[in-house]
Amino acid sequence: MASSQIKLFTVASVIMVWIALEMDVTRAYSCDKDWLKSVESKSCVKYFPEMKTWYEARSFCQANGGDLVKIVNYRMNDRLYRFLTNKYQQIYVGLHDATTEGKFKWLDETEEAFFTDWGKNSPDNYQSGEDCTVIGYYSRKSWNDVPCEHDNGFICEKFPECGNGTFGQSCSEACSEHCAGADNSCHPVNGTCDLGCGSGYQGDLCTQECDKGTYGRDCNETCSTHCAGTDNSCHHVNGTCDLGCDAGYEGHLCTKVTADGHAEHSKTDNSEANKALMFALVFVGVAVAIIFVVGVLMCRHRRFQLPFIYNTFRDEGIIKFSAQTSGD
C-alpha cells in the first residue's frame, strides 16, 4: 500500500472513531426545542440575548429548569462562543467570586474552579466591585470579571430528563436489560424498572438473579416440588428443574405425572390405605384384649363373692326353695 494511501486510511479511521464517539455521547439524551446539546457537559444549553443582571439572569435560568451555564473545558468554551449570535455582547456564565474575593467558583461547586479562560489582566476586580463572569468580552471568548449588577446577555444550562433506556446523572446509565417490557424502560432518575423485572430477575434495578427455588417474572414462581434433588432447584428464568424430575413426573416443570408415575401414585395410595387398615385392626385387637382381661377379672371377683352371698340368702330364707329342693 502506498504511503499516501496509508495516510488516507489513517485519517479516515480517526474520523470514523471520532464520529462514533460523538454519536455515543450525544445519542443518550435529547434537548428541548431551541436548546443545544453540550456534549462535553452532557447538558442542554441556550443563549439568551436579553439584557439582565447576573442575579436576574440566574433566576430566569432557574425558572426554566436550569441555572447559569458551567463551562467544563476548553472545547465547551470554544463551542459556546461560536454559537453566540452577537459576539459583541458580554454574556454571563455561572462563575463568581461573590463568596470569597478572588476565589471563583461555579454554582454547583464549593471548590475553586478548575478550568478557566481569563482574558488579559482578568480577573482584576476593577474598582473592587467585579464578582461575576462574562464571556464574549470585546469579541473574545476569553473571560472577564464584571459587576454583577450590569445588564448582559446570558447562557442557561439544564440537564435533560433521561429516557429511551437511560437514567442517572447525565443519563449515563442504561436501564437493566432485565427490566420487564419490550423497551426495558426504567425511571429516568433512579433506574427502577417501570414494569418490574422480567423472568429470572429481582431487585429495584432487576440485576439480581432469583433466589434458589424461585423463578419467573419478578421471581414470583416457585420451583416444582417434583424437581429432583433435596432443594428442588430449577432454572431462575424458565423454571426447568436443574436435576430433572422425581420418579413418576415429567415435563420441564416436572408437574406432569407419567403413566408409571400414576401407578406409583396408586401404589402410594394403597400403601396409605393398608396402613390405615392395619392401624384399625391393631386398635380393635387391643380393645378386645382389654375387654377380655376386664371380663376375667370381674368373673374372678364374683366367684369370690358368690358363696358368701348364697349363704347369707339361705340363712335369711330368701332361697328356701332351693334348699328344700336340694333336701328332697
Which residue lies nearer to Ca ion by CB, 131 or 221?
Answer: 131
Judged by CB under 5 A, does residue 133 bind Ca ion?
no
How far apart are the C-alpha atoms of 26 and 210, rounded to whole Å? Answer: 35
Give the whole-angstrom CA distance, residue 77 versus residue 116.
9
Look up cell 376375667; give the residue: 296
Q: Which residues pair with 106 in a beta bridge?
A: 95
> Least distance in Å: CB of 75 to Ca ion?
25
- In sequence order, which ranges of 316-328 are alpha helices (DSSP H)? 320-327
What part of residues 46-85 is at the interface with Ca ion (CB under 5 A)? none
Alpha carbons 254 and 235: distance in angstroms, whole number: 12
Residue 134 touching Ca ion (CB under 5 A): no
| From 9, 18, 115, 126, residue interacting with Ca ion (rule: CB under 5 A) | 126
Whichever of 144 and 152 has its CB closer to Ca ion, that residue is 144
User: Quick one: 103 or 314, whose CB is closer to Ca ion?
Assistant: 103
Among 43, 61, 89, 145, binds Ca ion (CB under 5 A): 145
Among 22, 78, 124, 177, binds Ca ion (CB under 5 A): 124
Buried b or exposed e, range 145-172, using 16+ CB within 10 angstroms: bbebeeebbbbbbbbbebeebbbbeebe
Q: Does 131 participate in binding Ca ion (rule CB under 5 A)? A: yes
CA distance 255 to 15: 59
- Per CB under 5 A, contacts with Ca ion among 82-101 are 97
Strand partners, 256: 250
Size of the site for Ca ion (CB under 5 A): 8
User: Would you call the peptide bond into 123 cis, given omega within 30 degrees of 0 as the criterion?
Assistant: yes
Closest contact distance (angstroms) between CB of 47 and Ca ion is: 22
Residues that bind Ca ion (CB under 5 A): 97, 124-126, 130-131, 144-145
